[in-house]
Structures are given as structure tokens and as C-alpha cells.
Amino acid sequence: MSSYQGALLSEGQIRAIGLGLLDRTLPKQQWTHAAHLAAALWLLVERPDIDAPSAMPEIIRAYNLACGVANTDTGGYHETITQASLRAVAEYVRQQPAGTALATLCTGLLASPCGDKHWPLRYWSTDCLFSVEARRHWLAPDLQDLPF
């Protein structure tokens, strides 16, 4: 499968995305917005031993490098989008019934507003979100506060 966008992911596929990210074997073409969310979901739900907000920057940077993607001021890892996405996924999970299956969580997450890869632009202006500062460090939204 070359893209997860719009796909229903099984628990096995979600775990494979997460493990592929961690061990840097996930094919680059499969690192879509949906895969980003699925990996964040998997880490938050099934890997509480990993502090996702602290660990994700290095996880993604290392994955990018393994795929030949440089982490620069214009490409690769983006701190504000990553941390905002982790917050959104954590809030989504918090609102779901305890024990909800991973695949069910993922389906709902991808159907939620953050399933749209442009969702951060409701909270950050393009200039702010795509600034070097936002790529390097967390920047609070400049249009409206996050609802979580």
C-alpha cells in the first residue's frame, strides 16, 4: 500500500507504521499525513514507555535521515506541527471510551478535523506556521487558541 490516506487501517497496519517509524524501515512513500497520525496514535496508546512529545523530534529526524530527507530550515522535521498533532491525537484519545480498539480509534481520528492535513492552518497563519522558528521550536497559534 503506497498511501494510507482515506484508508481504513487494521491494528496490524497501525503497529507496522509505528514500528517502521521507530526502526526506520517504513517506506518513505508511506509516510503520509494519515501515517503520521497513526504512528502518533500507536505511540500514545500502545507505547506509554515512550514519552512521545519528548521522543518524537528525534524519532522523526532519524527516520527522515534514513529516508534521505534532510532536516533543515525548509524541510524535514517540523516541531510546531509535530507537537500540535501529538496534542490533538492525545485529546482525541482522551475523549474516547477506555478500551476502544486501536483500529477504531484510528478510523475516527482520520475522520476527525485533524485527519485533514491542513488542520493547523485554522490556528496558525501560513507565515507563522511555515516560519523557520515554528519548524525549529514550538510556537503558539497566532490565529486562535487550540481547543485542547
Domain count, the chain: 1
User: What's the pLDDT at 1?
Assistant: 35
Instruction: Tell if the pTM clears 0.75, that is, is over it.
Output: yes
Kindly state whether residue 147 falls inside one of the protein's structural domains: no
User: What's the pLDDT at 2?
Assistant: 36
Kindly state whether residue 142 falls inside one of the protein's structural domains: no
- Name residues of the chain where pLDDT drops below 50: 1-3
Kindly state whether residue 4 falls inside one of the protein's structural domains: no
Kindly state whether residue 114 falls inside one of the protein's structural domains: yes
Name every residue whose Cβ is closer than 8 Å to that of residue 100 and which is 6 or more positions away in sequence. Answer: none
Domain that holds residue 95: 11-136
For residue 89, count CB atoms less than 10 angstroms from its CB and return exposed for 0-12, middle for 13-18, buried for 19 or more: buried
